[in-house]
Amino acid sequence: MTLKLSAEGYGVIALFIATLLLAVAMPDAPNQVSPSGTILFAGVLVFLLAAFLASLYFHPKESQAVSDIFLLIAILAPLWEIAFGKLSLLDPLLFPGPARVFAVFGNDYELMLQGLVSSLALLGAGYALALATAIPIGLYLGWRKRLFNVAYPLAKAISPIPPTAYLPYTIVLLPSFASASIFLIFISAFWPILIGAVYGVFSIDYRLINSAKTLGISEKDMIKKVLFPGALPSIFSGAMIAFILSFITLTVAEMLAATSGLGWYIQYNHDFANYDKVVAGIILVAVVVIVLMYFFDRIQSYCLRWQTP
Amino acid sequence: MATIDLKDISMVYGLNGTSHTALDTVSVHISDGDFIALIGPSGCGKSTIIDIVSGLKKPTGGEVLIDNVPVTGPGTDRGTVFQDYSLFPWMTVFENIRFALEHTEGAALKGTIDTDAQKYIDLVGLGKFRDAYPNTLSGGMRQRVSIARMFSMDPKVFLMDEPFGALDSLNRIYMQDLLLHLWAQGEKQKTVLFVTHDVDEALLLSDRIAVMSPSPGKIKEIIDIPFARPRCRKTLAASAEYIELKSHLLSILYCEMLDDIERQEQKLTGSETAA
């Protein structure tokens, strides 16, 4: 298999190399100098270039989309470097250049890693709790129309309340910040998954359910082996929204009340006007979301491999 | 050893105060090992009969007896094949058959679920597609899996609701031959209730044909099909008896259809004059 490059592909490579040379060779503005940051930024550029070539190689069918996405990054990176890093066009405190931002990763990586671990632990616990409760409840509500008719008006009233509105009470009522934020993440993820499961059951062709009934299966097997897999496509789309919502809730909760975590890291440095650290924190959050989404997609396409290609 | 008795089955649907009679006192006795075809125009309640015998719907009047035991709900003593919705799309061919076998007593007790499932997949010639998902198979292949599933469950009776209705004519011929072959192969022949709207299909497959008429759905006539088995499609179609039976069947169905059109026309002109 050979690597075939389009015009955009060559453009991406040229832009990355040009940015690399620019970052290393051209002196930074006096208030943006950071030798370690420059080295890290250069390292990131090399990594992105390698990632670009690797994804072209392993996903030749999606080369168009891959090229377009990387082209966007390859255009924005030098603009950032020139405007803020080299020329310092805007307020240098509020708009740090790449060298200073990436220097943060070198200096603060321990704190960031710690924050990442604590954030993911909260997110994982709350999200898993939501999956474990919302899916069975949703499947059962979808199956028992009468129960659904009772639960639906209630759910419609409660579900739009933003989870962070509960924050004051959860902090007072629950013993620790961790349990309070797990509860909030659970609430944010619960409704979309529940709705996904209920409508997933509704969307199953009744003829399939009839076919299952003629096999004389028990209600337990009906829910586990027929309704659950049949509703899974819809559960996944609910779970995707739930994931985004719970991530937002997590960072907001951390900004308000935590002592560690990704959201806390951004808020804490904002309080001290360390905008280079704020930008670094935002980049970290973005990378974490991209990585988690990637795994989410992989799990989804594996679980739904039976769908029409 | 399985008989099906439909005793005065009625099915009335209530719709906003008005009621619609889908089936009106339908009675049929199907003796053991009999292959009976239900034929009639759409809307005559053929599929409703299958739903009632399979236990999916409860009739508003009368009862169904299988081996003189009343039907109270779905069960694995009846194997059902629908037009194109029998298989679960999230299970492979093998998993679909295994899932059905897990819920039948015979194979589950003997502990031969996996070998039985494999045997029936091979029997319908889908050995290579054991791990394929239904969505990747053609309609004909999917129906072969449904039939393999029905035979593997070894039920007392087979209920088939236009199983080949969605197939092209070549596939249909192949499936009819496969069904007859498998049906004749067993130690004892199963009792079959087969719904179709295809006169040739009914004549080729069945021992008796019950012709139904719509609104309200009732059985108009039951015709014995005297041809010896195994039947050969070619010689059968050329025989005078076949042609006679076919034209008789067509005339019943056709006359029913003409009546229906006439009735509709009357309704239309009636409503016009009323307006």
With beta carbons under 8 A apart, name residues in chain A contacting B89.
306-307
Given a cut of 90, whether residue A192 has pLDDT beyond it is yes
**Which of B29-38, B197-206, B212-221 is predicted least confidently?**
B212-221
Cross-chain Cβ contact A214/B136 below 8 Å: no
Comparing B23 with B257, the larger pLDDT belongs to B23
Interface test with A, best of B52, B76, B90, B133 (most A CBs within 10 A): B90
Q: Is A61 a residue whose pLDDT tops 90?
A: no
A30's enclosing H/E stretch is none
Q: Which residues contact A17 (CB under 8 A, 6 or more apart)?
A: A49
Taking the domain B4-77+157-167+189-274, which CATH number applies?
3.40.50.300
A4/B contact by beta carbon, under 8 A: no
Looking at the predicted structure, is the pLDDT value of residue A204 above 60? yes
More confident residue, B104 or A308: B104
- Tell me the count of A-B CB pairs closer than 8 A: 60
- Decide if B87 touches A, using CB distance below 8 A: yes
Give the predicted TM-score (pTM) of the model: 0.84
Pick the more confident residue, A175 or A239.
A239
Whether A7 shows a pLDDT value over 60: the answer reads: yes
Across the range B233-262, mean pLDDT stands at 84
Q: CA B238, B204, B220: angle at the middle one, nearest 5?
A: 110
Domain ranges for chain A, please list them.
7-95, 109-303
ipTM: 0.82
Using a CB–CB cutoff of 8 Å, tell me whether A301 touches chain B. no
Split at pLDDT 50, 70, 90, the class of B264 is: confident
CA B46, distance to chain mean position in Å, is 9
CA distance A235 to chain B (A): 15
Q: What percent of chain B has pLDDT over 70?
A: 96
The DSSP line for A217-262 is: --HHHIIIIIIHHHHHHHHHHHHHHHHHHHHHHHHHHHHHH-SSSH
The chain B residue lying nearest A208, using CA atoms, is B85
pLDDT for A125 equals 95
Over residues B98-117, the pLDDT tens digits come to 999 888 876 667 777 888 88
The answer to whether A211 faces chain B, any CB pair under 8 Å, is yes
Q: Which residues of B244-263 are buried (b: 16+ CB within 10 A; e: fewer)?
A: ebeeebeebbeebeeeeeee
d(CA A192, CA A198): 10
User: Nearest CB to B103: which of A210, A216, A307?
Assistant: A216
Residue in B78, B88, B89 closest to A214 by CB = B78
- What is residue B107's predicted lDDT score, i.e. its pLDDT? 62
Which region among A71-75, A98-102, A251-255 has the lowest average model confidence (pLDDT)?
A: A251-255
**What tens digit of pLDDT does each residue of A81-92 get?**
999 988 888 888
Which of B111, B61, B53 is CA-nearest to residue B216? Answer: B61
Give me B219's structure tokens: 């059985």
CB atoms within 10 A of CB B174: 15
Question: Residues A132-158: what's their mean pLDDT?
Answer: 91
Q: In chain A, which among 146-205 make CB contacts under 8 A with chain B?
A: 205
Least confident of A162-176, B166-180, B192-206: A162-176
Q: Rounded to the nearest 5°, which phi and psi values hold at B172?
A: -65, -45
Fold of A109-303: MetI-like fold (1.10.3720)
CA distance A297 to A306: 15
Average pLDDT over residues A208-217: 90
What span, in angstroms and rounded, lies between the C-alpha atoms of A306 and A301?
9
pLDDT at A170: 83
Asked whether the beta carbons of B245 and B208 are under 8 A apart, the reply is no
Q: Tokens 């740090």 label which residue?
A: A96
**All structural domains of chain B with their residue ranges:** 4-77+157-167+189-274
Least trusted range by pLDDT, from A70-84, B126-140, B187-201, B259-273: B259-273
Does pLDDT of B198 surpass 60?
yes
Instruction: Identify the band that residue A2 occupies on the pLDDT scale cut at 50, 70 and 90.
Output: low
Dihedral, CA atoms, B233, B179, B204, B52, nearest 10 degrees?
Answer: -170
Chain A nearest CA to B140, separation (Å): 17
* Mean of pLDDT values over B179-185: 87
